[in-house]
Amino acid sequence: MALLAVLLSAAVLLLGSLTLAAQQARMVESEQMNARGERFLQRLEQVFGQLRQGLDQLEAQPLRGCDIAMVETLRQVAFKHRFIYEAAFVGGRQRCSSWPRQSSLGAERPADIQDEAYRYWLNTASQVNDDLAALVVGRGYFRVSVSRGHFADVVDLPEGGSLLFVPKAGGAPLPILGPEHYWPPVEGWPPKDDDALVLTEGQLIYRMPSRIPQYDLVLAVPRDDLMQKVRDGWRMLVPGSLILALLIGALVLQLVRHRQSLSGELEGALHRRELRVRYQPIFDLASRRCVGAEALVRWMRPDGTLATPDLFVPLAEATGQIRDITDYVLEQVLEDLGDLLQQNPHLYISVNLAACDVTEPRIGQVAASLLAQYRVPASQIAFEISERGLTDIEAARGQLMALRANGHRVLIDDFGTGYCSLAHLQNLPVDYLKIDKSFVDALGHDAASSGVAPHIIRMAHALKLKVIAEGIEQEAQARLLGSEGAHYGQGWLFAQPLTADKLRTLVEQDIPVIRAA
């Protein structure tokens, strides 16, 4: 059991931590890419800003034509702007540059992209030529360029990543830096939403607005190290998960051992007849005389204390030991009070049954043989079945009918806390309803449920059932319940659970119990 708990919780925790690690890795990845994209955009703005500024300055000065003054002006512009590698004048046949011996502009050709003021030439990544500038921007007769190395340094492109100009209207992208990309990266590109970051199976794609209205700038980075990050994150969570699983296993082991030892102890207690039965008297609410008692089991612990049933009855129900307890209580009742019952034919003792007692015929047979042995009529032994225990009403009906046919009275205990609908109740062979203590407690206190007890009483009257109210602690409750039509009452107002001898005295004295209100 503990091993199963360890394995099960380890599996659940490991799976949970794997999901967590994957989620975290994905989150970190998106955050990093968003931050990187923003940084990237800032740097690109700087580069483009300088290129345009240089061009604007050249355009604004009066010189046109290649002479020493022009070359000097071009040099000055290239010198003043960190990102401008080369500035040039291209007018008809005249061509001069700030860097005449190693021009990076390449042969004159139509611009790849054009907006209102500027033209752009890209030396696409597929035609890598380190002598050519990565990007050339032109205005009028002037050109400025940024070198591939400088550009790559400034924008700090992640490994395997590419920078692309992507036409908004669709069509092939123009690579600026990095390897070429299969395009479109996802179905339905460009995405409708405004999210800058798009994740595909293999890539992180960051879309940025560009100064050129028809184009987006796109940074595409491969995602192949995600699984590694998940594995790394998971590796850190594994020891914690395993320790937690072991702790859970140890806890389960302890619980199982405790239950096993408690169940073993109960077995011994039953064997050594260490269980005790106490009797809580039941009073007629009109005459205030004792009409019967409920048998309540106790366990005499080795330290001399009496353990109440909530400590062991649920366990006994789970292990099946409750059948032995029921038989034991029944036998004890007759041994303790058989003669008292014979002398007081109107007195009855009610015995609590567990759910499993009412789904099999055993208890009727046990009762019949004990009653014959002690010569007590079956009408003096009632059986209580908690409404919560009536889960299989069909199975219970047959057994309850058999018990009644033998002459026993049958009660539904803790009424109002279970699943018994009115329709079921009509068809159930029962004699009494026992109103649960919680509804008696609520009388006069809890506005919402203080009407439940009177309602149950009216319902019982309509079904010709008698009503017992349990847990009466105050005289006012007894009076109210009596005036509403409850027939019997049980509770500390009248008496706590008593030993057999004390019950005998109470019955023999037969004094009506009325307390001050």
In the complex, the residues that contact Mg ion under the rule CB under 5 A are 352, 384, 413-414, 470
Residues between 401 and 460 with contacts to ligand C2E, criterion CB under 6 A: 413-414
Quote the strand ranges of 245-373, DSSP E: 275-284, 290-300, 306-307, 348-353
Answer with the entry of Mg ion, ligand C2E, none that 354 interacts with (C-beta below 5 to 8 A by kind).
ligand C2E
Answer with the entry of Mg ion, ligand C2E, none that 145 interacts with (C-beta below 5 to 8 A by kind).
none
Name the one residue in this structure whose structure tokens are 């032994």.
381
The rounded distance, in Å, linking the Cα atoms of 290 and 280 is: 10
The one-letter amino acid code at 204 reads L
Q: Which two tokens stand for residue 360?
A: 């099999």
Interface residue with ligand C2E, options 104, 123, 344, 386 (CB under 6 A): 386
**Helix, strand, coil in percent for the chain, rounding step 5:** 45, 20, 30
* Shortest separation between residue 24's beta carbon and ligand C2E, angstroms: 50
284 binds ligand C2E (CB under 6 A): no
* Shortest separation between residue 258's beta carbon and Mg ion, angstroms: 27
* Shortest separation between residue 295's beta carbon and ligand C2E, angstroms: 6
The CA distances from residue 107 to 104, 480, 499, in Å, are 9, 108, 115
Of 20-28, 228-236, 323-331, 403-411: span binding ligand C2E (CB under 6 A): 323-331
* Shortest separation between residue 414's beta carbon and Mg ion, angstroms: 4
336 binds ligand C2E (CB under 6 A): no
For the CA atoms of the chain, what is the radius of gyration?
46
Nearer to ligand C2E, 292 or 491 (CB): 491
Answer with the entry of ligand C2E, Mg ion, none that 313 interacts with (C-beta below 5 to 8 A by kind).
ligand C2E
Answer with the entry of ligand C2E, Mg ion, none that 284 interacts with (C-beta below 5 to 8 A by kind).
none
β-bridge partners, 469: 435, 489
Angle among Cα 148, 153, 159 to the nearest 5 degrees reads 95
Asked if residue 196 lies in contact with residue 189, where contact means CB atoms within 8 angstroms, the answer is no
Asked if residue 503 lies in contact with residue 490, where contact means CB atoms within 8 angstroms, the answer is no
* Shortest separation between residue 316's beta carbon and ligand C2E, angstroms: 8
What one-character DSSP code corresponds to residue 158? P
Angle among Cα 407, 318, 334 to the nearest 5 degrees reads 35
Interface residue with ligand C2E, options 163, 297, 347, 443 (CB under 6 A): 297
Of 54-62, 103-111, 139-147, 319-327: span binding ligand C2E (CB under 6 A): 319-327
Largest CA distance in the chain: 139
The one-letter amino acid code at 228 reads Q
Report how many residues bind ligand C2E under the rule CB under 6 A.
25
* Shortest separation between residue 336's beta carbon and ligand C2E, angstroms: 13
Interface residue with ligand C2E, options 135, 204, 230, 322 (CB under 6 A): 322
* Cα 429–chain centre separation: 43
DSSP for 371-400 reads HHHHT--GGGEEEEEEGGG-SSHHHHHHHH
Interface residue with ligand C2E, options 309, 338, 407, 429 (CB under 6 A): 309
Of 46-54, 100-108, 138-146, 302-310: span binding ligand C2E (CB under 6 A): 302-310
The rounded distance, in Å, linking the Cα atoms of 495 and 284 is: 13
Nearer to ligand C2E, 79 or 419 (CB): 419
Contact residues for 511 (Cβ-Cβ < 8 A; gap 6+): none
319 binds ligand C2E (CB under 6 A): no
Of 57-65, 459-467, 490-498, 499-507: span binding ligand C2E (CB under 6 A): 490-498
Of 218-226, 265-273, 324-332, 442-450: span binding ligand C2E (CB under 6 A): 324-332
Residues between 6 and 35 with contacts to ligand C2E, criterion CB under 6 A: none
Nearer to ligand C2E, 234 or 415 (CB): 415
Interface residue with ligand C2E, options 280, 321, 344, 399 (CB under 6 A): 280
281 binds ligand C2E (CB under 6 A): no
The rounded distance, in Å, linking the Cα atoms of 277 and 332 is: 7
Name which of 108, 45, 100, 110 is nearest 78 in CA terms: 100
Nearer to ligand C2E, 314 or 377 (CB): 314
Name which of 253, 247, 251, 234 is nearest 10 in CA terms: 247
Q: Which two tokens stand for residue 112?
A: 């790849």
344 binds ligand C2E (CB under 6 A): no
Nearer to ligand C2E, 50 or 280 (CB): 280
* Shortest separation between residue 373's beta carbon and ligand C2E, angstroms: 20
Interface residue with ligand C2E, options 98, 162, 352, 380 (CB under 6 A): 352
Q: Which helix (H) or strand (E) holds 421?
A: none
Answer with the entry of ligand C2E, Mg ion, none that 471 interacts with (C-beta below 5 to 8 A by kind).
ligand C2E
* Shortest separation between residue 325's beta carbon and ligand C2E, angstroms: 6
Residues between 65 and 104 with contacts to ligand C2E, criterion CB under 6 A: none
Q: Dihedral of the CA atoms 9, 12, 14, 17 (nearest 10)? A: -120
Name which of 223, 107, 120, 117 is nearest 175 in CA terms: 120
β-bridge partners, 299: 275, 307
Q: Which helix (H) or strand (E) holds 110?
A: none
Interface residue with ligand C2E, options 53, 308, 438, 449 (CB under 6 A): 308
Binding site for ligand C2E (CB under 6 A): 280, 296-297, 308-310, 313, 322, 325-326, 329, 352, 354, 384, 386, 413-414, 470-473, 490-492, 497
